[in-house]
Amino acid sequence: MTNRPHRAHNGVHLECFEALLQETNGAMLSPEATRKRIHNTLPVAREGFVFIASGIVLTGLFLVLSLSPAAVFFGLLTLFTVYFFRDPPRNPQGEEKSVLSPADGRVVEAAPSEYPSAPRGEKALKVSVFMSVFDVHVNRIPAAGEIEAVNYHPGKFLVASLDKASDQNERNAVTLRTHDGRRVVFVQVAGLIARRIACWVKTGDKVRAGQRFGLIRFGSRLDIYLPADSTVTAAPGQKVRAGESVIGNLS
């Protein structure tokens, strides 16, 4: 079960805060709504529908009012919103032991580390992918297996490209156990602008490599932790694509 903080925040009642966090992580979605997001066949992610529709309404309103500058502004903003929420199909590549990038973007770190959850101190290899606002923001499963845990952590909204964002920012950690018992942890990290994390998988779900599992808006990073005896093939500065680029191999 996803861990939630058990206190009010900034004077907001506990019930309201809990509901907000549930919505943030996709916990309030119906099973059918979750299924449609994971197996999306549309060119844009369903998370973007409300933003796109709002932009169309505002653009139309300003056109009716003959306020051309405002109509042009919101028209361009709507087009960018469609671009931001694009959800292109992906063709997972690699061998059985391959680990795929969970996000589009640029690798900003590939180094020895520790797993971000218990038991603390357990060695791991960490690869971090930074997503700019121009990257596809739909996140994908890095390896086939079963979801062992989903843990939400409240936090700050530092610039996501900073190393300390992994420990201090709001984040959602997903622990996966592969079919041969290997543990892979991938963490959705919010950033300076990205303040809404959507996660569509839950504990016990059987998942396949390259499957959609969530989305962060608008611009952020994904940290992935592999067993210490794995091999990392990604390097800082490398551009990767979610569900297609191989970033490492399990032993």
The structure tokens listed for 166 are: 């992994």
**What whole-number distance in Å separates Cα of residue 177 and Cα of residue 61?**
50
Cα separation, 164 vs 43, in Å, equals 34
Rounded to an integer, what distance in angstroms lies between the CA atom of residue 167 and that of residue 109?
Answer: 14
- Active site (annotated) includes residue 220: yes
Q: Which amino acid is at 39?
A: H
Q: List beta partners, residue 222.
A: 129, 188
Pairwise CA distance, residues 122 & 158, whole Å: 26
Distance of CA 121 to the CA centre of its chain: 25
- Which residues fall within 8 angstroms of residue 130, CB to CB, at 6 or more apart? 105, 106, 107, 108, 160, 161, 220, 221
Q: Which of 220, 230, 245, 251 is catalytic?
A: 220
Does an H or E element contain 82, and which?
helix 68-84
- Which residues are marked as active site? 220
